[in-house]
Amino acid sequence: MAESGPRHDDYFDEFTQQGRIAVWEALARFDETVNPDFLGFAYTTVETMLLGATRAERNQGVDDSAAKTFLSMLDRAGGDPFLAEKLCQTVPPAGRRLSADRAHAARLAYQGADSLDAPAPGSTEDEPWEPGTSTYGVPEDLITPDDVAREEARVKKALVHGVLDVMGEGQAHVLRGTFGIEPVPFYGNGADEELAADMGTTAKAVREARSKGLKAFGKRWIKATAQTPEEADELTAAMTARLTRKGAACPA
């Protein structure tokens, strides 16, 4: 338990009482002919109960599968729970994706654990799912380089849409129009007047939204894709160099 948060005292009292009950239940089940160490038996009993109670409180009714998928995407999202909610719906392979309602519930459960030790992003009892270890829809011995390439392209596309979905609506719309990302038609860099008319704004506002949007997208993209601090530094340097040149940089 973290010693902070508005409900720490409530959790402490509640779990202490549950621990006392678990000890009494351990007394009733203890068989010294099987295990002469009652203290060890009681400790394991209470620890198991507390782990289950903490998990139930943290997940707030969210099923374990959804919670594990969310934590994996939270890791992928660089700790951004809103981006993780979006990624849960698109990035995992078929059968592991969450519906919008389940992803939303998983995020609320995670953020609602104010006074519990929030799990480290990606930490679950089982190994978290990671892109690249999915099944590709075929038996492992039949996977080809084309299967891997298609899966990588699918995940990349899902990440692009996921990042855009959590950005400001104006900036996201301009970036979608600049690069022709669904559902906005392609405008490129040379049709700011037309894009502005489509959005009901000015060409100047479009250019400002593009400039700010590329930076915001780049920061989130680096968090979602960089595997090491060194790689993050390299991507940041590349993004900075690209954005200092005239013209828009491709977000992916």
The DSSP string of 55-88 is: HHHHHTT--HHHHHHHHHHHHHTTT-HHHHHHHH
What distance in Å separates the CA atoms of residue 24 and residue 237, rounded to the nearest whole number?
A: 60
Place of tokens 């392609």: 186
Q: What pLDDT is recorded for position 170?
A: 93
Q: What pLDDT is recorded for position 115?
A: 34
Question: What token pair was written down for 190?
Answer: 């040379």
With a cut of 60, say whether residue 37 has pLDDT above it.
yes
Residues 209 and 174 sit within 8 Å (Cβ to Cβ): yes
Q: What pLDDT is recorded for position 208?
A: 94
Question: Which range (119-128, 129-138, 166-175) has the least confidence?
Answer: 119-128
Question: Which range (29-38, 122-131, 187-196, 216-225) has the least confidence?
Answer: 122-131
Burial category of 92 from C-beta neighbours within 10 Å (exposed 0-12, middle 13-18, buried 19 and up):
buried
| CA 16 and chain centroid, separation | 32
With a cut of 50, say whether residue 153 has pLDDT above it.
yes
Q: What pLDDT is recorded for position 60?
A: 57
Percent of the chain with pLDDT over 90: 19
With CA atoms as reference, report the closest residue to 102 among 133, 152, 61: 61
Give the pLDDT band of residue 139 (cuts 50, 70, 90): low
With a cut of 90, say whether residue 148 has pLDDT above it.
no
Tell me the whole-structure pTM to 2 decimals. Answer: 0.57
Burial category of 220 from C-beta neighbours within 10 Å (exposed 0-12, middle 13-18, buried 19 and up):
buried
Estimate the crossing angle of helix 81-88 against helix 64-76, to 10 degrees. 120
Residues 170 and 246 sit within 8 Å (Cβ to Cβ): no
With a cut of 80, say whether residue 1 has pLDDT above it.
no
Place of tokens 């948060």: 5
